[in-house]
Amino acid sequence: MSTLLRLVGPADLPSLKRPAVDAETLAAAARIVESVRTSGEAALRGLAERFDDLPPGAPLLIPRDHLAAAFHRLPVAEQALLARTAERIQRFASAQRAAIGDVTVDIPGGRAGHTVSPVEHAGCYAPGGRFPLPSSVLMTAITARVAGVTHVVVASPRPAPATLAAAYVAGADALLPIGGAQAIAALAYGAGPVPACDVIVGPGNRWVTAAKQLVSGQVGIDMLAGPSELVVLATAEAQADPDTIAADLLAQAEHDPDALPILVTTDPTLPARVDAALARQLDVLPTADTARPAVANGFAVLCDDLDTAIRVCDTLAPEHLEVLAPDAEALRPRFRHYGGLFLGHGAAEVLGDYGAGPNHVLPTGGTARHVGGLSVFTFLRVRTWMSMDAPGPLARDAAALARIEGLEGHARSAERRLVPAP
């Protein structure tokens, strides 16, 4: 039987670091973004009609009352499911928001501090191509609302009824039924009734990622996310079930042919048993055409001990990291680099995908070494302030430092604070 997950050693570990988008896509996306930036609604309509996102003459934005109607047309069980999921996401995001607040401290001669405030406009992208993802609508738009964002627009091409309903449940003001680089450009620069946003978030294909890279700096973005990744770390002592591991790996593999399913283990018998389970499950998986090439991208890493396995996981810095060990939660402090951590047999990564609470928009490609996942903090600005009653001591120091730097104008400005105000 052929091997599905190639076996590698810790010394030969492939890197997950890869460009978020290829140069050819970036160049093509740049032409689309520039077209929308300079020609606005006309360019957006033309591109949307060209890519079959929008019928000629259709409204660019689906208003909130239409989103509400879509929600009420869903079966009652689906309405309740969306509401329960939304409540869990909202509760977790609210706890995050409560974790950071305004600060005031005394400084020589006065006071300084910071305030925490949300941006005004947010654009939340949710894919709609291979699969509709109402879960991504909930994850992004609810988080923006909890942060306090005033106006939230969701963008999703050819939105399914559940996507429209999720936008309503999440509190979105409207939905832009357009995808790709043109949607990101519209959210960044504005186009007709589509407002220019301050922050754009959410997962998408390479065209979405390329456009987010191009508009970053003009607007804030969450991250440049690539294909999904999952590392399952299973220790020999865990006696982990190979069928469960295979199911978890395939759950990520079915996202995209470029997804990366990875097994890290200290059990020398486990790679072959997981391989056999993958083969059995692929034979009956409806999304096998997508998952099979992703599995071919993946690999298994056999480690001599737990310390080595943890080092391997930190080197990979994956989007998702599942830990199957007898006392997985006790190991949590030992992991340094990951997007989302899932501890123990019950904490399946898919439960995070579908609204356990923490956000499922997470860094990929090894970027978890320097960035975290989407959260309320993505939509917040920490801004500092200062008030001085007696600026003398600080003014003298400022003038002295300014002269060390050769900036006499700075020094004179500081020294003006040594004389009484008129």
10-residue mean pLDDT profile of the chain (422 residues): values are: 84 88 95 98 96 93 98 98 98 97 96 98 91 93 98 97 98 97 98 98 95 97 94 95 98 94 97 97 97 96 97 97 96 97 96 93 95 97 96 96 98 93 74
Candidates 356, 294, 91, 10; CA nearest to 340 is: 356
372, exposed or middle or buried, with CB in 10 Å at 0-12, 13-18, 19+?
A: middle
Share of the chain residues as helix, strand and coil, in percent rounded to the nearest 5: 45, 20, 35
Backbone angles phi, psi at 343, to 5 degrees: -105, 115
Is residue 36 helix, strand or coil? helix
Residues listed for the chain: 422
User: What's the pLDDT at 1?
Assistant: 46
- Report the C-alpha gap between 230 and 271 in whole angstroms: 15
Query: 6-19+226-358: which CATH architecture?
Result: 3-Layer(aba) Sandwich (3.40)
User: What's the pLDDT at 156?
Assistant: 97
Whether the CB-CB separation of 4 and 285 falls below 8 Å is answered with no
Q: Which residues are catalytic?
A: 319-320
**Amino acid, res. 397:** D
- Report the C-alpha gap between 160 and 169 in whole angstroms: 14
Q: b or e along 115-129 (b: 16 or more beta carbons within 10 Å of the residue's beta carbon)?
A: ebebbebbbbbbbbe
Other beta carbons within 10 angstroms of residue 420's beta carbon come to 5
What element of type H or E holds 119?
none
User: What's the pLDDT at 17?
Assistant: 86
Q: Decide the pairing of beta strands 320-324 and 229-234.
A: parallel
CATH 3.40.50.1980 in the chain, residue ranges: 6-19+226-358, 23-221
- Give the gyration radius of the chain's Cα atoms: 25
Backbone angles phi, psi at 183, to 5 degrees: -70, -45
For 343, the token pair is: 């501890």
Give CA 100 to chain center in angstroms. Answer: 20
For 372, the token pair is: 């975290």
What's domain 23-221's superfamily in CATH? Answer: Nitrogenase molybdenum iron protein domain (3.40.50.1980)
Residue 336 falls in which region: left (phi positive, over 0), alpha (psi -120 to 50) or beta: alpha
User: What's the pLDDT at 2?
Assistant: 57
For 105, the token pair is: 């401290």
- Report the C-alpha gap between 382 and 217 in whole angstroms: 17
Rounded to two decimals, the pTM is 0.94
User: What's the pLDDT at 327?
Assistant: 93
